């Protein structure tokens, strides 16, 4: 390849992170609307948010796989069919678009380890964006609806995201968890002990 592999890798990282971020954001929006977790919605309306999620996923794929048409990289027209080490820098053509992204990781492409690092980063960024937008949507919805406070107090965990922002719901859920942890733990131990093998073997007959 006629280009420094480090330069190629930096370009591939930017494109990959953008692709993973947009597609993850869209997937998260669809999942959030299906579960009713308004604390993660990008818009205040379920149908709009779900439609936006689908559009984000489609947009991510279209941008990622067509970028070589207008963004210069190691896929110049006329060199894509060659080995990645002999490619030239530039934009590709429609006829060679299918092989433009096929860059060996030795020459600047992303290997599995790098993808394993950058994908969680992109997903985490998508989650943060959803949580921030969701906090605003919850405030808007709360101002327009009159929700029973007693009903809200019983909702925590995933269910709590239907009426609280992620950050508020996280603190509320942790507080509930700390207050109920001891009882849940003891109840779990009692149930486990009732099915203990040793208890069943050595338990005396009612007679």
Confidence of residue 205 (pLDDT cuts 50, 70, 90): very low
Confidence of residue 90 (pLDDT cuts 50, 70, 90): very high
Which pLDDT does position 57 carry in this prediction?
97
Which pLDDT does position 24 carry in this prediction?
97
Per-domain residue ranges of the chain: 5-144, 149-193
Q: How far apart are CA 144 and CA 149, in angstroms?
A: 15
The 10s digit of each residue's pLDDT in 165-203 is 778 777 777 777 666 666 666 666 566 656 555 565 655
The 10s digit of each residue's pLDDT in 4-47 is 888 999 999 999 999 999 999 999 999 999 988 888 999 989 99
Contact between 130 and 37 (Cβ < 8 Å): no
Which pLDDT does position 51 carry in this prediction?
96
- Name the percent of the chain in helix, strand, coil, to the closest 5: 70, 0, 30
Which pLDDT does position 124 carry in this prediction?
96
Q: Which of 174, 141, 148 is nearest to 36 (CA)?
A: 141
């Amino acid at each position: 390849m006629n280009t420094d592999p480090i330069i190629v890798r930096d370009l591939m990282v930017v494109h990959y992170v953008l692709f993973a971020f947009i597609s993850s954001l869209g997937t998260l929006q669809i999942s959030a609307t299906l579960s009713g977790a308004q604390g993660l919605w990008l818009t205040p309306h379920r149908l709009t948010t779900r439609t936006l999620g689908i559009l984000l996923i489609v947009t991510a794929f279209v941008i990622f796989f067509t970028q070589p048409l207008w963004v210069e990289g190691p896929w110049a027209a006329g060199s894509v069919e060659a080995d990645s080490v002999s490619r030239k820098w530039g934009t590709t053509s429609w006829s060679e678009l299918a092989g433009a992204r096929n860059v060996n990781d030795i020459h600047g492409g992303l290997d599995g380890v790098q993808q394993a690092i950058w994908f969680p980063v992109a997903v985490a960024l998508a989650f943060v964006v959803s949580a921030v937008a969701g906090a605003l949507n919850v405030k808007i919805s709360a101002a327009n609806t009159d929700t029973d406070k007693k009903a809200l107090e019983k909702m925590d965990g995933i269910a709590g995201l239907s009426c609280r922002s992620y950050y508020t719901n996280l603190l509320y859920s942790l507080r509930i968890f700390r207050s109920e942890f001891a009882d849940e733990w003891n109840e779990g131990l009692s149930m486990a002990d009732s099915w203990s093998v040793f208890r069943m073997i050595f338990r005396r007959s009612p007679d």
